[in-house]
Amino acid sequence: MLKIDVLMRRFETDELEELLRQKKDQYFMYPSERVWKNIEKNIQPSQTLTIVSAVLLFLLSAGISVLFNEQKLSTFTPPSGQLAFQLSENKWESTLPIVSIHGGAPSNKSESFFERHRFENAVTLVPSSDPETLEHPLQAPLFAPIVMERNWINPITALPKNKRPGILQSISNVFDKAKQIGKEAKWQIYFSPTMGYRSLRGSSSSSNYLYNSYSFSTTSLFANTVKDAVIHKPGMGFEAGAALYYPITKNLSVKAGLQANYQQYEILASRVYPEIATYGMNNVGFTTQPINAVSNYINANNYTSSVTLRNERFMISMPLGIDYKVIGNKMLYFTVASTIQPTYVLNSSAYLISTNLRNYAKAPNLNRRWNINTGIEANVHFQKGSYKWSVGPQFRYQLLQSFTDKYPIKENLYDIGLRVGIMKTF
Amino acid sequence: MTEEILILGCQQKNPQAQQELYQRYSPKMLTVCYRYAKSREDAEDMLQEGFIKVFTQINQFEQRGSLEGWILRTIVHTCINQLKKYKKFTEHVDLLHAESLISNEDNLSSMLQAKQIIECIRQLPIGYRTVLNLYALEGYSHREIGRLLDIEESTSRSQYTRAKMMLEDILVKKNIMQPKKEKSKWLVPVNG
């Protein structure tokens, strides 16, 4: 049918069609600049989005921290007209809620919404003679079950612990534990300017290149190992995040948090006319095929066309670790900490050196998205007003290489920084 | 940059290769879009959407045909999809209407012939010019056009015949083409 169509077309072609075909490629129009800008916005990963994500992440962490501390603060302020007990000199000092010695709702009608709301969160202690219902060691001689204000009674916590039904008991225990952790844990927000760099391992492999006739780059003419062949420099980055500290013993705390890392280092290269560079081999069935990329840069310092490239990564991590107090008192002390950090690379703009050590190009398919970092730090902590500050050096090292196993050159990132943290205390 | 390097670069999202590909093919493709579009702005919108598809789908290009041919098909399909949103391609326009269309434009004589022809094509009603563009300029068969525009193959044929008649009249009137000495009877305008 298609052949008939083609024959028909030849037969039917007349003067008009001939004219149209002759003229169709003789006139071109040039699009306005906005078209390419809009296309570029759609096809290139947005740097703005990355920065906005980082800021949002940081604000979220900070917000959680502030909110958490605000809630703790509100439970401490006695509502107007109510008698509050200030308990001191014990570990409950910073966690005990306000207590009222009468069970009725507040009668002061002029109190603000905020005060009323605060009062709703308060706890009233009702005299009791049943020692089994004691919730708090300091309430022992005088008070028993905890009953919420406004005649609302928590059916679980109102029951003595040993008389609660099984499932309710379990739920209750979980909530009790969570509440206790919440009361004893403290949030810290921190920021570190960092200096980032990398370690490189691997050697040149001229058997993998296909397209160009150079087996080695100009700088690597006498150097087969990648670390001797390249010209790299450390670059400035940062780390920011929030961490929750929970004391296990007097001197040991566990910590968990969320942090953002921006890491970069610099590469000295020279611009060249595009070449195809090889970055490894892919197994396809019983054969192997080279992994190629277009390269506009060579690993050489040609002064007329030299250019500084940046290998940049933006990552989010969840540091989990321990913090040990080595020496000091409550106002001034010294700690060391270690973390393991599952990491996700949100954005990577990295130039890889080709397997023959000649070219630099981006090869996004070879980037590893998930990684694990480890961190060690030493901090001096000191109390200033109601804030606890901490300052100290930190070192972070990427445990898995930055690229997939198909790329024979191994890169591990690391950075050192000065960590400044702040923690609200009461 | 060779075509092979260009394709590989675009597949690896190399910004320089992407820009090179755009600069190389956008003038020609904008002219194609302009033949289908109502205005230059619409044509640029079609071009923009078409090139976004080109860059996001370039991994599907298997290098069996030419890169330009593949880009052209992607752009044409984008144009058709844009037009489909607003228009049906089955409506017929009588030649009396065509006369009134011709009389509305006046300054074609100062343009280059190639541009004049494009402008004349753009004078055609949307259904006619789409079929004419696809058949006479892009080389689609009537069967393919039918599938693309969701119309019968026979409708595509009749649309094309009418489009050609109308375009001939416009081109003759603008002295771009010599008038035919005799018209066959079946080409007599429906209202004439």
What confidence tens digit (pLDDT) does each residue in B49-97 have? 999 999 999 988 877 788 999 999 999 999 998 888 766 555 554 443 4
* Residues written for chain A: 426
Q: Around Cβ A148, how many Cβ atoms within 10 Å? A: 15
Token reading at A169: 């008991």
Token reading at A197: 């760099």
Average pLDDT, rounded, for chain B: 79
Specify whether the CB–CB gap between B156 and B135 falls below 8 A: yes
List all residues of chain B from 79 to 118 with a beta carbon under 8 Å from chain A: 112-115, 117-118
Q: What is the pLDDT of residues A298-338, one digit of tens each?
A: 988 776 788 999 999 999 999 999 999 999 988 899 999 99
Residues of chain B with Cβ-Cβ distance to A43 below 8 Å are: 13, 18, 52, 55-56
Average pLDDT, rounded, for chain A: 74
Cβ–Cβ of B47/A36 closer than 8 Å? no
Token reading at A381: 């902590």
Distance CA B20, CA A30 (A): 14
| pLDDT value, residue A303 | 66
Compare CB distances from B168 to A1, A16, A21 and report the shortest one's residue: A16
| pLDDT value, residue A311 | 94
DSSP symbol at A106: P
Nearest to A239 by CA among A299, A284, A194: A194
| pLDDT value, residue A155 | 54
Specify whether the CB–CB gap between A211 and A275 falls below 8 A: yes
Rounded to a whole number of angstroms, the distance from the CA of B50 to the nearest CA of chain A is 9
- Taking the Cβ of residue A250 and every Cβ of chain B, the question of whether any pair is shorter than 8 Å is answered with no
CB pairs under 8 A between A and B: 116
Residues of chain B with Cβ-Cβ distance to A15 below 8 Å are: 177
- Which residue on chain B is closest to A362 by alpha carbon? B14
Distance CA B150, CA B168 (A): 26
β-partners of residue A316 are A260, A344
Residues of chain B with Cβ-Cβ distance to A293 below 8 Å are: 8-9, 12, 14
| pLDDT value, residue A237 | 95
Distance CA A288, CA A278 (A): 13
Specify whether the CB–CB gap between B31 and A27 falls below 8 A: yes
- Which residue on chain B is closest to A1 by alpha carbon? B143
Specify whether the CB–CB gap between A80 and A111 falls below 8 A: yes
Q: Strands A320-328 and A306-317: what pairing? A: unpaired
Cβ–Cβ of B34/A274 closer than 8 Å? no
pLDDT of residue B32 exceeding 80, the answer is yes
Compare CB distances from B28 to A23, A28, A293 and report the shortest one's residue: A28
Distance CA A176, CA B34 (A): 70
Interface confidence (ipTM) of the complex:
0.75
Distance CA B54, CA B5 (A): 16
pTM here?
Answer: 0.49
Q: Is the dihedral of CA A125, A127, A131, A133 positive or negative?
A: negative
Out of A178-182, A380-384, B101-105, least confident range: B101-105
